[in-house]
Structure 1
Amino acid sequence: MTKWSVPLISTTGDHLLVPADQVTRLFRQLAADWQGAADQDRTGLDPETLQVLAGVLTDLADRIDVECIAFASDPGA
């Protein structure tokens, strides 16, 4: 299990924000852990389901990255 801290940013509306790169790193690490568990069949869970879930998390991380790049690249932002 990997442990790491995530910086939180507090807003004036009492909301917390998490940097997108930290979220995508978390999703990719979870996906890699699930893929490794599925490959080694060490969880007792269905390996095919774990692989599908890992793929979903990886795709979500990719979409977040694309949206952030598009936002950062927009000269009007």
Structure 2
Amino acid sequence: MIKWSVPLIATTGDHLLIPAEQVTGLLRHLAAEWLHALDNSESHPDPETVLALAGVLSDLADQIDVECIGFKSSPSSDE
């Protein structure tokens, strides 16, 4: 069992932030675990459903990465 340690950043508005790379790493890890379970599971999950769910998680992680890259690359983020 892998234990995750996620740094939390408190803001002035009582919000907590999590670094994007932690979120995308978690999403990709979950997708990989589901795919691994598909190959090694005794419960025989529906392969089409597992593949679709893993794809959604991977796509979401990719979208977050793209948004973060775009934010860091924008001229207003350099201020």
Q: Give the TM-score of the pair, scaled to structure 2.
A: 0.88
Which residue of the partner structure matches residue 51 of structure 1?
51
Question: Per the alignment, in what secondary structure is the counterpart of residue 76 of structure 2?
Answer: coil
Aligned partners of 2:38 and 2:44 also within 8 Å: no
Please give the residue correspondences for 1:1-77 in structure 2 after superposition, counting only pairs within 5 Å. Answer: 1-77=1-77
Q: Which runs of 5+ in 2 are unaligned?
A: none
Q: How far apart, in 2, do the equivalents of 1:14 and 1:44 lie?
A: 43
> Segments of 4+ in structure 1 off by > 6 A?
none
Aligned partners of 1:38 and 1:48 also within 8 Å: no
Aligned partners of 1:34 and 1:54 also within 8 Å: yes
Q: Give the TM-score of the pair, scaled to structure 1.
A: 0.90
Aligned partners of 1:32 and 1:54 also within 8 Å: yes
Kindly tell me the number of residue pairs found equivalent between the two proteins. Answer: 77
RMSD: 1.2
Q: How far apart, in 1, do the equivalents of 2:48 and 2:9 lie?
A: 37
| Aligned-pair identity (%) | 65
